[in-house]
Chain A
Amino acid sequence: MGVAFVTPYTLFLLAFGALPTLYAIYLAFTKNNAFVGLDNFVRVVQDYRFMPAVGHVGLYLIVWLISLIVLVVLLALAVHGVRSRRLSTSVRFIYYIPGALAGASSVLLWLFVLDPSVSPVSGLLNLLGSDSFVNTIQIDRLPVVLAIIAFWTGAGGWIVIMYGALNNIPNEVMEAARIDGAGPIKTALFVQIPLLRKWISYMVILSLAAGTQLFVEPRVLSQASRGVVPQDYSLNQLAFLFAFKQNDFNGSAAISLLLLVVALGLSVFFVFRGGLFERD
C-alpha cells in the first residue's frame, strides 16, 4: 500500500527533478558532446551580465528573507495572541488568500498596483517619489518591489504554518513562563521563538531555493514595462537568454548548476544551524 502512494511521486521526482539535473550536469561540462571541463562555467561567469545578475538576486534575497523572517514571526505571534477564535480564523484565512494565486497572475495584479496612473495606492507611490510606472520599477528599487510581491504571495502560507507550530508548544511550558512572570514579549523572545527555530530554518531553506530561482516576476515586469526591467535581471533569466537567445544550452546549464550548488550550500548551512535534523 505504501508503495502505491510513493511510486507516483518518485516517478515524477525522477522525471522532472533528478533526470533534468543529471542532464544539466552533462550539458554543463560538455560542448557539442565533447568534454570541456570548466569552459562553460568560465564563459558564463565572465559574461558581462553575470555579476550584475548575481548582485540583483543577492540583494533581493537579503531584503526578502530578512523581511520574511521578521514579519512572518511577528504576525504569527500576533495572530496566536488573538483571543477571539472567530477573529483569529478569519485573519488566518485572509493571510492565506494571496497564496492561492499562481506566480504569474499575482504579478499581473501587481502591475496595476505599481503603476501610479491606475494604482489604488497612487498617493503612497507619489510619496515614495514615484510619478510613473517606469520610476516605480527603477532597477535599484526592484529588490524591494519584488520582495513585497513575494511577501504578499508567499507569507500568508508561512504565517499559518508558524501559527500551527506555536500551537504545538505545550501548554505547560507557556504556563510555566507565565508563572515565572514573563509577559508576551519575554515569552516570545525566550520561549516561543527558540522553539520555532526549526520551522524558521525550514522556511528559510524553501524560500531560499525559490528566491534564487527568481524568474517569473522580473520576466513579467520586463514584458509589461516594454523592457525597462531588463531581460537579464536575474540569473535564471540569464540562463534563459543563454539557452534561447544565444543557442548556448551548455552555458545555460552551467548557470543552473551554479545556482544549484549555491542553493544547496546555503541550505546545508541552515539545516545544521537550524538543527533541522536533530531529534527531540
Chain B
Amino acid sequence: MAPQHHRTSVSRLLITATAIAGLAALTACSGPAGEIDENYGFVVAEQNPDSEITIWADATRQPAVEAFQKAHPEVKVNLVVDDGSANGSATLQTKIALADQAGEGWPDVAFSTQTNDASWAAKETNGVQAFAAPLDKGYFDEDFLSGFTPGALDPVTIDDTVYGLRNDLAPVLFWYNKTLLDEFGYDVPTTWEEYQELGDKLASDHPDYFLGTVGDSFAGPYVFYWSGEAPIYQVDGDTFHSDTSDANSMKVTEMLDHMVANGTLTQDSVFGADFVAKADHLVAIPGPAWYSGALFQNPDSVNAAAGQWGAANPLTWENGGDVTGNVGGGMWYASSHSKNLEAVKTFLEFIVSDPSTAGTGGLPAYQSAADAWLSDQASSGFYDGDFAGAVSTAAGSVWNGWGYPNFSPETSWTKIIIPGIASGKTIKELSADWQKEMQNEAQAQGYTIG
C-alpha cells in the first residue's frame, strides 16, 4: 500500500503548495502598488545591500558562478542548480509561476538555456510584476549594454526594452573531423547539397561512419530547419506561423529523411552514452559554437586531440541565403523583485563580460570577451582551419526569420518526430502532425494561427 500513499501525498503536497501559494498571493495583492523608481525604471523592492543573492542556473554555469564568488567575496551567493530549462522543459517558467502565485521565493538571478523566456518573463502575470527587470531603463549603464555583439540581445528585447543578458552566442557552424576526412580523401563540404553527397559516399564506402544526429530536441528545429530558412516557427505580434510544406521546409525534410535512411544521421542524443561510444566514427557534424566545450574539448564526450577537429563556415543551400541557425545561447535575467539589485548587477556584469567566465565554454555574447576567447582558441591551435573566422561568420549570419514565442519547438519535435522516426516513419510523413502540434501549442499559449 506504501506507494499509493506516497503518490497521494506527493500530489496532495502539490495541491496544498498551490493552495497556500494562492492564498498568499491573494493577500499579497491587497498591498498598495509601489511607484516606479526613476533610477531603475520599475517598481523596486525594499533594498538591503548586505542580503544574499539567490542564483538559479544549470550545472554548466556552476564553475563560472564559483569563479565569481572567488573574485567577489563581498557578495553572498546562494547557487541553486537546476536543468537550465533544457529541452524546452520550462523549469524556469514553472518555478517563477509558483513564486508569482506565492508572492515570494523568486531568485535574484536566473539562467535559462532557452532564448525565448523573455516572451513570458517580461509580462506581468495575474497582477504580479513581470519577473524580468528591464535593464536599459536606468538599471544598467548604456555603455555596458552596448558592449554586446550586435543582435545578441534581440531575443530579450521586447517593445524596445532589454530584459535579459545573453550568456553566449550559439550560431550553427560546420564541425569536421580533419583526420577522418583526410584519411578517406574527402573535401570539407560547403553546402547542404555537398553534405548530403558526402553522406551518400560515406554510406557506400565507409558504413558506420556518420555526419551528425537528429536525436536531440534542438538538432532538428535549430540546426537544420533554421539554417534552411524554413518558415516553421515564426511570430508576428500575436500571430504564430508554421508551414512544414513550404519549399524551404521540404528541402530540409527530404535531406534529413535521406540521411536518416542511409544511416549517416543517427537518432542518438549528443549527450547520450550511445553517441559517445560511436564518437570516433563521427566524420562531421553541423552544430552550435558551444559544441566546442560540450563535445570536442570535453573529456567525457568526443574528447578530440589537438588538430583533429576543425570548424568551417556554416553550410548553406545553393538556392538560399548565406544564413545559419542558432541553438540557444543562454540568457541571464535579473529579478525585478530582488532586494539587492546592486549585487545582482555586479554579478551579471562579471558573468557575461569577464574573459575568465564569459560564454561558459561557448562563444561569449559580450564583444570584448568574445574577441579574447576567439584569439585564445586561435592561438591554442586546437582547431584546424580558420576557427575565429568561421565563428565570426556564423555569428553574423543567423537567419532572422525565426521567432521567439512563448513555447519551444523542441517539445513538439521530441513528442512527434523523435518517437516517429524511431518506429520507422519518415519526417515527411510526420511533418503535418508536427506542424499541427506546434500550432496547437501556440493556440494554448494564446497566439492566433496565421
Given A245-B93, A245-B94, A245-B97, residue A226 in contact with residue B444 (CB < 8 A): no
Complex contacts, A48 vs chain B, CB 8 Å: 440, 443-444
Choose among A101, A134, A210, A215 the residue that contacts B4 (Cβ–Cβ < 8 A). Answer: A210
| Complex Cα–Cα for A213 and B9 (A) | 11
The verdict on B422 contacting chain A, using a C-beta distance below 8 Å, is: yes
Identity of the chain A residue whose Cβ is nearest the Cβ of B25 in the assembled complex: A249
Complex contacts, B11 vs chain A, CB 8 Å: 213, 215, 236
A16 and B16 contacting across the interface, CB-CB below 8 Å:
yes
Identity of the chain B residue whose Cβ is nearest the Cβ of A154 in the assembled complex: B3
Stretch at the interface among B145-153, B176-184, B242-250, B411-419: B411-419
Nearest-Cβ distance from residue A73 to partner chain B, whole angstroms:
16
Complex contacts, A20 vs chain B, CB 8 Å: 12, 15-16, 18-19
Choose among B8, B14, B26, B267 the residue that contacts A209 (Cβ–Cβ < 8 A). Answer: B8
B7 and A213 contacting across the interface, CB-CB below 8 Å:
yes
Identity of the chain A residue whose Cβ is nearest the Cβ of B98 in the assembled complex: A244
B217 and A226 contacting across the interface, CB-CB below 8 Å:
yes
| Complex Cα–Cα for A249 and B20 (A) | 13
Complex contacts, A10 vs chain B, CB 8 Å: none
Given A117-B273, A227-B89, residue A249 in contact with residue B440 (CB < 8 A): no
Nearest-Cβ distance from residue B293 to partner chain A, whole angstroms:
20
A213 and B8 contacting across the interface, CB-CB below 8 Å:
yes
**B residues at A contact (CB < 8 Å):** 1-4, 6-8, 10-16, 18-19, 22-23, 26, 83, 86-90, 93-95, 97-98, 100-101, 125-126, 215-217, 267, 269, 273-274, 410-411, 414-415, 418-419, 422-423, 440, 443-445
The verdict on A27 contacting chain B, using a C-beta distance below 8 Å, is: yes
Choose among A49, A132, A243 the residue that contacts B97 (Cβ–Cβ < 8 A). Answer: A243
Complex contacts, A19 vs chain B, CB 8 Å: 16, 19
Identity of the chain B residue whose Cβ is nearest the Cβ of A215 in the assembled complex: B11
The verdict on A223 contacting chain B, using a C-beta distance below 8 Å, is: yes
Name the residue in B93, B215, B269, B414 with the highest tally of chain A Cβ atoms < 10 Å from its Cβ. B414
| Complex Cα–Cα for A44 and B384 (A) | 55
Nearest-Cβ distance from residue A185 to partner chain B, whole angstroms:
28
Complex contacts, B10 vs chain A, CB 8 Å: 103, 215-216
Nearest-Cβ distance from residue B103 to partner chain A, whole angstroms:
14
| Complex Cα–Cα for A17 and B23 (A) | 15
A226 and B87 contacting across the interface, CB-CB below 8 Å:
yes
| Complex Cα–Cα for A232 and B94 (A) | 14
Complex contacts, A175 vs chain B, CB 8 Å: none
B411 and A157 contacting across the interface, CB-CB below 8 Å:
no
The verdict on A228 contacting chain B, using a C-beta distance below 8 Å, is: yes
The verdict on A122 contacting chain B, using a C-beta distance below 8 Å, is: no
Complex contacts, A154 vs chain B, CB 8 Å: 1-4
Complex contacts, A206 vs chain B, CB 8 Å: 1, 4
Nearest-Cβ distance from residue B219 to partner chain A, whole angstroms:
11
Name the residue in A32, A225, A246 with the highest tally of chain B Cβ atoms < 10 Å from its Cβ. A246
Complex contacts, A15 vs chain B, CB 8 Å: 16
The verdict on A135 contacting chain B, using a C-beta distance below 8 Å, is: yes
Identity of the chain A residue whose Cβ is nearest the Cβ of B97 in the assembled complex: A244
Choose among A158, A230, A249, A252 the residue that contacts B1 (Cβ–Cβ < 8 A). Answer: A158
A residues 141-175 touching B (CB-CB < 8 Å) = 150, 153-154, 157-158, 161
Complex contacts, A252 vs chain B, CB 8 Å: 18
The secondary structure that dominates the A interface is: helix
The verdict on A187 contacting chain B, using a C-beta distance below 8 Å, is: no
| Complex Cα–Cα for A114 and B95 (A) | 30
| Complex Cα–Cα for A132 and B272 (A) | 12
Complex contacts, B100 vs chain A, CB 8 Å: 247
Nearest-Cβ distance from residue A16 to partner chain B, whole angstroms:
5
The verdict on A75 contacting chain B, using a C-beta distance below 8 Å, is: no
Complex contacts, A150 vs chain B, CB 8 Å: 3
Identity of the chain A residue whose Cβ is nearest the Cβ of B90 in the assembled complex: A245
Identity of the chain B residue whose Cβ is nearest the Cβ of A32 in the assembled complex: B126
Choose among B7, B18, B22 the residue that contacts A103 (Cβ–Cβ < 8 A). Answer: B7
Nearest-Cβ distance from residue B432 to partner chain A, whole angstroms:
15
Complex contacts, A210 vs chain B, CB 8 Å: 3-4, 7-8
Nearest-Cβ distance from residue B119 to partner chain A, whole angstroms:
12
The verdict on A231 contacting chain B, using a C-beta distance below 8 Å, is: yes
| Complex Cα–Cα for A134 and B424 (A) | 12
Nearest-Cβ distance from residue A26 to partner chain B, whole angstroms:
9
| Complex Cα–Cα for A210 and B10 (A) | 11
A246 and B423 contacting across the interface, CB-CB below 8 Å:
no
Nearest-Cβ distance from residue B213 to partner chain A, whole angstroms:
12
Nearest-Cβ distance from residue B221 to partner chain A, whole angstroms:
12
Identity of the chain B residue whose Cβ is nearest the Cβ of A99 in the assembled complex: B2
A223 and B89 contacting across the interface, CB-CB below 8 Å:
yes
Identity of the chain A residue whose Cβ is nearest the Cβ of B88 in the assembled complex: A227
Nearest-Cβ distance from residue B226 to partner chain A, whole angstroms:
18
**A23-B19, A48-B444, A210-B7 provided; 16 other pairs, C-beta below 8 A?**
A20-B19, A23-B23, A47-B444, A48-B440, A99-B2, A103-B7, A138-B423, A158-B1, A206-B1, A213-B11, A230-B414, A230-B415, A231-B89, A245-B93, A245-B94, A247-B97
A227 and B4 contacting across the interface, CB-CB below 8 Å:
no
A residues 17-53 touching B (CB-CB < 8 Å) = 17, 19-21, 23-24, 27, 32-33, 47-49
Complex contacts, A134 vs chain B, CB 8 Å: 215, 267, 418-419, 422
| Complex Cα–Cα for A259 and B448 (A) | 30
Given A103-B3, A227-B414, A243-B97, residue A24 in contact with residue B19 (CB < 8 A): yes
The verdict on A201 contacting chain B, using a C-beta distance below 8 Å, is: no
Given A15-B16, A139-B419, A206-B1, residue A103 in contact with residue B411 (CB < 8 A): no
| Complex Cα–Cα for A91 and B190 (A) | 65
A residues 209-241 touching B (CB-CB < 8 Å) = 209-210, 213, 215-216, 223, 225-228, 230-231, 236, 240
Complex contacts, A119 vs chain B, CB 8 Å: none
| Complex Cα–Cα for A209 and B7 (A) | 10
Choose among B125, B440, B443 the residue that contacts A247 (Cβ–Cβ < 8 A). Answer: B125
| Complex Cα–Cα for A137 and B414 (A) | 12
Given A17-B12, A20-B18, A227-B414, residue A132 in contact with residue B422 (CB < 8 A): yes
A23 and B3 contacting across the interface, CB-CB below 8 Å:
no
Identity of the chain A residue whose Cβ is nearest the Cβ of B415 in the assembled complex: A230
B19 and A244 contacting across the interface, CB-CB below 8 Å:
no
Nearest-Cβ distance from residue A50 to partner chain B, whole angstroms:
11
Identity of the chain B residue whose Cβ is nearest the Cβ of A247 in the assembled complex: B125
The verdict on A67 contacting chain B, using a C-beta distance below 8 Å, is: no
Nearest-Cβ distance from residue B87 to partner chain A, whole angstroms:
5
Identity of the chain B residue whose Cβ is nearest the Cβ of A245 in the assembled complex: B90
B3 and A153 contacting across the interface, CB-CB below 8 Å:
yes
| Complex Cα–Cα for A244 and B280 (A) | 42
